[in-house]
A = this chain, B = another copy of it.
Amino acid sequence: MNGISTDKTIADMARKAKAASRFLASTTTDTRHAVLHAISELLLAKKQEIQAANNRDLLAAEKKGLSSAMIDRLTLTDEVIAGMAQGIGEIIVLPDPVGEVSSMRRRPNGMIVGRMRIPLGVIAMIYESRPNVTIDAAVLCLKTGNAVILRGGSEAINSNIALASVLQQALAVCGANPDAVQVVSTTSREAIDVLLKQDEFVDLIIPRGGEGLIRFVAEHSRIPVLKHYKGVCHIYVDKDADLDQATPIIINSKVQRPGVCNALEGLLIHQAVAENYLPKIEQELVANGVRLLGCERCVALGKQIVPARDSDWGTEFLDLQLCVKIVDSVQEAQDYIDRYGSRHTEAIISENYTTANQFVANVDASAVLVNVSTRFNDGGQLGLGTEIGISTTKLHAYGPMGLEELTTRKFVVYGNGQVRP
């Protein structure tokens, strides 16, 4: 596909998406839920076609020599498809944020002012291998009345085209504009570049994937981007920590799922408890297969802690490795987090009222936790019902983004002839 046709195709998709977003904004929740039900049913009814397309992707992946972990994420087994269909049911039962009017008040001149929650308009998702993101993202966007343009990874292109066909059929069956969900069928990076310039039609870009993809999107986009680059999460064990509570929290944060963004990457221990506690937690972590990289004092106190290199501090290992450091105060812990953290998830273990509250107030991260595992920084766990991603930039959303974060508020004013003096 040459440059001109990519430009035209992507711009055309964006224009159509905008028109579809106008249609969606005027639909009721019932209409949008009917579409979601139809997607769920068609996913199961068309399972064989979807899996046939998925097999073509899997064959290509094997030829390319992709890792078994990547192939695993790419595979649409019966269970994965059933899970996708069931997940839609869980989204349908969540309250619809669109249409809510809040802060409605009468002004001194008698006019009534409120703020009405409305869809954002057109959302573009740019993501890598997992084809179930295609369904998840489409469902969350449609639930909230947004049109969506999906650009998945080249490894999943056949699967994504098959899923797009299900999505558009579901829209058509319900009499809805099928342009509400469109999948970019070219896998060139040029297509992303053109998409990032459609600021006339696209309201938000959400990239999901590796840091390289996300940096590329952030640097080239003229459209607002909600993103997080990485999760370098810490736990600070205070001098006043309940150490019996600390251990299961640290183990859960590091070991339960080390490859995700809310897993623990750095452990800070107050010097007053280090001599007693460091050997204990070292033993537990090592027993769980964790390799420890520490500061000089840690190396001296521990048995199997290797000296951390400068480049280890602040690294997102996404693996069974952990940096450990002894600090002299909560202030030093906060300064360390300020320097090496990624504004994602930061936790303190402390029974001290003042220290815990100070940490919560002063640490700059999308979620600041007291006495719980870092693994809780997740839309479902925090009570949003679902999430479409996590933002570590502060505009519009900071932390997990649920349905409400896919909407905005406009001012509505009801008067009876008021003019401005």
Name A410's contact: one of B26, B218, B253, B365 (CB within 8 Å). Answer: B365
- Inter-chain CA distance A203–B364, complex, in Å, is 13
* CB contact list, A252-299 vs B, under 8 A: 252-253, 256
Query: How long is the Cα–Cα vector from A199 to B392 in the complex, in angstroms?
Result: 13
Per a CB cutoff under 8 Å, which of B362, B381, B400, B418 touches A25? B362
- Of the listed residues A105, A361, A408, A413, the one surrounded by the most CB atoms of chain B closer than 10 A to its CB is A413
A370 to chain B, nearest CB (A): 5
Known: A26-B362, A203-B395. A420 touches B376 (CB 8 A): yes
Residue A396 at the chain B interface, CB threshold 8 Å: yes
Q: Are B417 and A408 in contact (CB under 8 A)?
A: no
Interface residue A367 (Cβ < 8 Å from any Cβ of B)? yes
Q: Contacting chain B: which of A50-58, A113-121, A131-139?
A: A113-121
A416 to B249, CA, bound (A): 10
CA distance in complex: A147, B311 (Å): 30
A75 at interface, CB cutoff 8 A: no
Which residues of the partner chain B approach A218 to less than 8 Å between Cβ atoms? Answer: 199, 222
Q: Is A228 an interface residue (CB 8 A)?
A: no
A414 touches B362 (CB 8 A): no
Say yes or no: B369 contacts A420, CB within 8 Å: no
Smallest distance from the beta carbon of A235 to chain B beta carbons, Å?
A: 12
Q: How far is the CB of A305 from chain B (nearest CB, A)?
A: 24
A317 contacts partner chain B, Cβ-Cβ < 8 Å? no
CB distance from A180 to the nearest CB of B (A): 16
Within 8 A of B (CB), among A327-377: 338, 356, 360-362, 364-373, 375-377
Say which residue of B199, B398, B408 sits within 8 Å of A408 (CB atoms): B398
User: What is the CB-to-nearest-CB distance from A342 to chain B, in angstroms, rounded to a whole number?
Assistant: 12
A–B pairs, 26, beta carbons within 8 Å = A107-B383, A111-B376, A113-B382, A113-B383, A116-B361, A118-B364, A121-B364, A204-B394, A204-B395, A219-B222, A224-B224, A224-B396, A242-B417, A249-B419, A356-B414, A366-B411, A367-B410, A367-B411, A367-B412, A368-B411, A369-B413, A373-B420, A376-B413, A377-B411, A382-B411, A399-B410
Binding site for B on A (CB under 8 A): 22, 25-26, 99, 105, 107, 111, 113, 116, 118, 120-121, 199, 203-204, 218-219, 222, 224, 226, 242, 245, 248-249, 251-253, 256, 338, 356, 360-362, 364-373, 375-377, 381-383, 393-396, 398-400, 408-420
Besides the contacts A251-B419, A366-B410, A375-B419, what 20 more A-B pairs have beta carbons closer than 8 Å?
A: A22-B338, A204-B395, A218-B222, A245-B416, A248-B419, A252-B420, A253-B419, A256-B419, A356-B414, A360-B412, A367-B410, A369-B415, A370-B413, A370-B415, A372-B417, A372-B418, A376-B415, A377-B411, A382-B411, A395-B396
